């Protein structure tokens, strides 16, 4: 029997996807890593740092409880305005019980499941990932849970990183099919994609002699300069032409927990998509330029890779009135799943 707390298995950062046979690839999501323990109708959600997340995500706990006695590893996510909203996850943890219920109604969370550690009281951690995945695919997921897509084809895995940049997929995690679940061990591999875009430094915060942040702008379709983000605070003045990392918030929009992972992963990759990074404007950040001092230099901002493809997707079930359609205007069957070799 697997009881909390346990240290989850983690991934080591790499600069390219592993080569050769025996690897399975999964999208990396922008959410909270969590291990869900369900037994006798009671659920405990544990973070990677062994923190109790249950009170902040009662919707996820209720969904996991419907699976019976299980221990699942996955990612808690919130979908808002057409992409993953990490700030909404943080807001859940900062809120009291009464406000959390309001947030659940406004922006429901979902649990993207990628591993099965125990089932019906039996510990499965010593079994190879291939067998754990096979058992995971046989479960019937209720509303609010989704089985993450997985593939053994590196080309499909690369397409998840290169299709679009607005959904919030951060990269790809690679796992050995013959590997047991090793608690607290950094034995998986994760590859992040970085997407670059040119931006104009339209202003600064702080004094002109010692600027604290750079305000970055991008021209819209009408040629007007719009705020795209700002750099992280610095105690030293940045040099002209230096690279700064920009941060952005999701564009406000309808809050919908997608029914399919196809909606999470975005539209198919264009045939002409690049193979490493693509130039695309960063998502607009809702902010103002109060206190900004005009200047005229330019800089190149970078954002973590968030581009993905719909290929090899699995369903995310959610209420009918909260289901955004895919690019083709249709949604997938609720009963379908992905195979590790698909």
Phi and psi torsions of 215, nearest 5°:
-95, 115
Q: Spot the catalytic one: 28, 135, 138, 190.
A: 28
Note if 138 is an active site residue: no
Annotated catalytic residues are 28
């Amino acid at each position: 029997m697997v009881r909390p707390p346990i240290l989850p298995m983690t991934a080591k950062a790499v600069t390219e996807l592993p080569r050769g046979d025996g690897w399975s690839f999964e999208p990396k999501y922008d959410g909270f890593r969590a291990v869900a323990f369900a037994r006798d109708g009671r659920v405990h959600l544990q973070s990677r740092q062994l923190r109790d997340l249950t009170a902040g995500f009662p919707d996820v706990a209720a969904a996991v409880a419907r699976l019976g006695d299980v221990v699942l590893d996955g990612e808690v996510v919130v979908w808002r305005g057409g992409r993953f909203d990490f700030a909404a996850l943080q807001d859940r943890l900062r809120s009291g019980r009464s406000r959390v219920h309001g947030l659940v109604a406004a922006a429901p969370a979902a649990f993207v499941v990628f591993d099965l550690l125990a089932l019906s009281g039996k510990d499965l951690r010593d079994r190879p990932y291939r067998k754990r995945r096979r058992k995971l695919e046989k479960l019937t997921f209720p509303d609010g849970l989704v089985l993450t897509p997985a593939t053994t084809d590196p080309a499909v895995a690369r397409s998840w990183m290169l299709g679009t940049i607005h959904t919030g997929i951060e990269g790809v995690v690679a796992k050995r099919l013959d590997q047991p679940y090793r608690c607290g061990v950094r034995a998986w591999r994760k590859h992040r994609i970085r997407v670059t875009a040119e931006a104009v430094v339209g202003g600064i915060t702080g004094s002109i002699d010692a600027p604290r942040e750079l305000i970055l702008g991008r021209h819209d379709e009408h040629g007007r300069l719009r705020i795209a983000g700002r750099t992280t605070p610095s105690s030293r003045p940045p040099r002209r032409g230096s690279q700064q990392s920009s941060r952005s918030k999701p564009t406000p929009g309808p809050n919908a927990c997608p029914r399919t992972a196809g909606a999470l992963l975005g539209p198919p990759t264009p045939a002409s998509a690049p193979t490493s990074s693509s130039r695309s404007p960063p998502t607009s950040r809702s902010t103002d330029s109060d206190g900004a001092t005009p200047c005229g230099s330019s800089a190149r901002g970078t954002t973590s890779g968030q581009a993905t493809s719909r290929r090899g997707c699995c369903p995310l079930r959610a209420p009918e009135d909260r289901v955004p359609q895919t690019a083709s205007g249709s949604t997938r069957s609720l009963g379908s799943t992905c195979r590790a070799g698909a």
